Structure 1
C-alpha cells in the first residue's frame, strides 16, 4: 500500500509510526524534515534560473532532496561546482523564513545524546546557517554534502551517519521528506519515516508518514528507542 505525502493527519491523531519497533539511532534529513527552508531555497534557485536562462519551475521541481552540484550536472551547466557554490552562498546569505518543523524541538529533546544525527544534502556551512536560524543545535554527528562522493539516493550518507554513531544502519530509523532520501534509506537497509508538512503535491511512498512531530516523543529502553505519544501517557 502507498501513502500519499498530502493531507496527512497530525501525529497526535494518527497511528504511531513504526509502533512496537525499537531502533539504535535516528538519522534525520534536514531541509523539510527538521526545518522548512523552501522559501529561501526557492528564492535562490529562481534568481539563478533567471540569470542562466532556465525555467525556474522546472529547476525547482528537480532540486529538492539532492546535492546542489548534482542538480547542476543534471541541468548540464558548464561548471557545476561554480554554479553550486553560487547557490550555496546565496542561500547562506538569505535564511529568511527558515523555521523548525512543528514539534521538532520537543521531539529531539527526548532522544538521548549520541543517538541521533543529521544527514543532509546541504553543505556544512549552509546546514550550520539554517540550523542556527531555526534554533536547532548542531549535533555531534552532522553528515553533509562534502562528506560523500555520491549524494542521495545513494546510501553512502546514511551509512556514514550510522558508522559515526557506532550503530548498524539496519537498526536505524531515517526520517526524510523526499523520495531520493527514502530510497537512500532503503538502500542502506534502514527503516524510513516520511515527514510531509512541506509538501503541497502528493508523492507516494510505502513508508509510514507523519505530517510533523507534534504529539510524539522518543522513549529509550534497554532494547532501543521507540516513538511514543508525548504527554502523561507517553515519554514526556
Structure 2
C-alpha cells in the first residue's frame, strides 16, 4: 500500500444471517503474554438476539475451551477446531463445516466471517462468505491481499445495530479505505 493506512471509511451497515468467528487474533489476542478480548459486547449482542454464531479456529478444542473459560467468554453452541477437519485454513472445509452447523450452507453469502489471518480470510471467501478482515496479527498489506470485503483494526469497529426477518444488522465503522 505504500502510505499509512487510512481507517476512515464512513460507517457502513450490512445484514447477515449468521456469524463465524476465528478465535485467536479475532475474539482474543494471546500473543506475547498479552491476553485481551475484544468487544465482548458483539458476541453478547448476538446471543441476546439468538443469532446463529460459531467459532471456527485452527486451535485445538482443549486450547479453545481453556481460553473461553479463563476469560469468562461465552461458549458457542457450535465449535469447529483443528480436530474437526483434515486440512486447515486456507482450505475452506472448516468454514463450510461452520455453515453446516449453523444450517446456513445454502446461504453462505448471507454469513460473515470475522478473521485476522490471511489464510483464514481466503478460507472464508472460498466458502462463499462475506469476510471482515481484522488487522490484529498481520500487516494491513497482508490482510488486504487476502481479499476480505472489509478491513478494520479489530472488533471494536463492528457492532450490532438491529435485527429484522432473521438477519442481524451490524455497523462497520473506521474501515480501511481500499
TM range (shorter): 0.7 to 0.9
Shift of the alpha carbon at 1:138? 1.3
| Partner residue in 2 for 1:221 | 164
Within a 5 Å distance, the mapping from 1:97-108 to structure 2 comes to 97-101=34-38, 104-108=39-43
Structure 1 unmatched runs, 5+: 41-96, 231-236
1: distance between equivalents of 2:123 and 2:167?
23
What's the CA shift string for 1:39-79, capped at 9, x where partnerless?
25xxxxxxxxxxxxxxxxxxxxxxxxxxxxxxxxxxxxxxx
| Partner residue in 2 for 1:39 | 32
> Is residue 151 of structure 2 the alignment partner of residue 209 of structure 1?
yes
What's the CA shift string for 1:87-134, capped at 9, x where partnerless?
xxxxxxxxxx32202xx2111111132511100000100011112223
| Partner residue in 2 for 1:141 | 78
Which consecutive segments of 4 or more residues in structure 1 shift more than 6 A? Answer: none
Structure 2 unmatched runs, 5+: 174-178
Distance 1:201 1:187, change over 3 A: closer
Within a 5 Å distance, the mapping from 1:1-236 to structure 2 comes to 9=7, 14-16=9-11, 19-39=12-32, 97-101=34-38, 104-111=39-46, 112-167=49-104, 168-199=107-138, 202-205=141-144, 206-207=147-148, 208-214=150-156, 216-218=158-160, 219-222=162-165, 224-228=167-171
Shift of the alpha carbon at 1:185? 0.7
Distance 1:215 1:123, change over 3 A: closer
2: distance between equivalents of 1:193 and 1:110?
18
Larger Rg: 1
1: distance between equivalents of 2:172 and 2:94?
29
2: distance between equivalents of 1:215 and 1:154?
27
Q: Contact 1:194–1:210 (CA<8 Å) still a contact in 2?
A: yes
Q: Contact 1:100–1:135 (CA<8 Å) still a contact in 2?
A: no
Q: Contact 2:17–2:111 (CA<8 Å) still a contact in 1?
A: yes
Distance 1:163 1:186, change over 3 A: same
Identify the structure with the greater helix proportion.
Answer: 1
Q: State the TM-score, normalized to the length of structure 2.
A: 0.81
Residue aligned with 2:14, SS? coil
